[in-house]
Structures are given as structure tokens and as C-alpha cells.
Structure 1
Amino acid sequence: MKLFKRKKDKELYPFISRFLIRLNQKLLTCANYLQQRTNNFSRRKRILLLFVICLVFVTESAVVVVKSLQRDDSVLITVAPIRLIAPTPRSHTFFPGNEYKRIEQFKQLLNSNKNFRDSILAARPYLMDTLNYLQKIYKQHEK
């Protein structure tokens, strides 16, 4: 019995491998360009250039470390509690009487004309349910 399954090597997707190949080619061309530019430098000049580059990066790293260790209260990120707004009581909506009459008239129109009703209900299948629901809400608010 094996305790650990052998990991299978996953193949990269073709577009990723093409991207990595192109990136490698670009890096090689940049390295060749820099090599040609520095070929005519003397040994002392190359060492001085390397020292300057190292000095710049070490200085920048030191600045970042010192800035992170300093206590500056204006820059600190603080966590503040989220304050909830007190909920307001819901006011019951009031349906005007003429709106309710319009709903009743529309239902009567649908009930009186079968062809009209079938064409509308084919386009809007839940229309009657919505009208009944609105009437139910109106009657609940009326009490």
C-alpha cells in the first residue's frame, strides 16, 4: 500500500508555453544588447558600475525598512467598528380607490372578452396571479 500518490507532471497550456518562449527570447535579446554595450568597458568600470547598482538597491531597501518601522500615526491603518443606522418602521402603503377600481375594471375586461384574454395571457402568463395578489394586498391594507 502506498501512502503518497505519485504526482503527475502537468503539461502547460500551449498559449502559456508560447508566451514563456517569447518572454525568454526577449530577455535574451535584452541581455545580448547589454552585453554588447558593456563589452568595451574596462574591468574597473564594470566593478564600479556593479557597486553603484548594488548601492542604489541596498539604499532603497533600507529606506523601505526604516519607513516601515517608523511610527507615523497619520499613515497607520485603523480598524473602526461599523455603526448601524437604526431601522425605521415601515409605513404601510396606501392604495388609492381609483387604482383598485382600475384593477377590477381590467379583470372584468379580461373576463368578458375570451380572445383578448387568451392573447394577453399567452404573452404574460402570470398576469392573473399578479392581479389577484394586488387585490389581496389592497384588502389586507383596507382592514
Structure 2
Amino acid sequence: MSKKTTQTRKQFLKRIGAGTLALASTPAIIGAGTIPNISYLSRKKYSANSNIQIALIGAGGMGSEDTNTALKHDGVKLVAVCDLYDGHLERAGERWGKDLFTTKQYKEILARKDVDAVIIGTPDHWHKQISIDAMRAGKHVYCEKPMVHS
């Protein structure tokens, strides 16, 4: 690498960092109090009818931890879990209650009217299709890993 190339990269990184900082601070600078709080996960109290009902598709380690994190927020309720492994479904019942709907077919989760959002914790090669199917079914999607490779 030439010294000029290194300096150009450093300049680029400095500029991108400064730009990101400027963009992130813009709401605080212009009208910080004018944007309404639309966060579903805020700490205000919800009635039983205002829960966001979520389902977990892929109840292994990461999906389960993501679900535990979501359930720490008021107004979030887990109503269904999908996994191909019987052990994960049994553990889900033990961890989050026997009244959970459990299945091995993720499309059964997507067909449910009481599910507002899904957490996708499946292996990488299933993320894309399940995410697309969930969005087509009108569900909100949280998918931690990449959904596509390109």
C-alpha cells in the first residue's frame, strides 16, 4: 500500500465517522421534542389489549435469547413458537408457559391473526425465505443475521 492510499482511507473513515455523528445528532439539534414517541417497546404501561404479540421461529440459543430480551419490555407477549427440534419446543413450554402454541411448520405461525411480529432465529439459509413469507403475511420481522448474501 502506498502512503497516499492509506491517507485517503483514513480521510474517508474520518469523513464517514463525522457524517454519521452529524446525522445521528440532527434530531437533537433541530426540534428534539417535536418527534412523537412511537416506540412499541417504551416503558409506559399497556392494557391487556395493547400487547404486541410475538412469535419465535427457531427456538435455539440465539432465538431464545432474543425472545427473552423482547419479553423484558412491557406490552410484549409471546404467543407462539416454531422449531423443528422437539427438545426446543418442550423447553419453550417450560420457559415461557405451557399455553404457547407450538409447531414445526413456520407457515402455521404466519397464518395466525394474533401474531403481530416474528423473531427469526433459524439457521442462515432459512432467514431470507421465512422473512419474505412473514412480511407477505403482514408480520413485522426481527432477523438478527443476514437475510441474503448479495
- The reply to whether TM is greater than 0.5 is no
**Higher relative CO (CA 8 A, sep ≥ 6), structure 1 or 2?**
2
Structure with the larger helix share: 1
Provide the TM-score with structure 2 as the length reference. 0.23
Structure whose CA Rg is larger = 1
Structure with the larger strand share: 2
Provide the TM-score with structure 1 as the length reference. 0.24
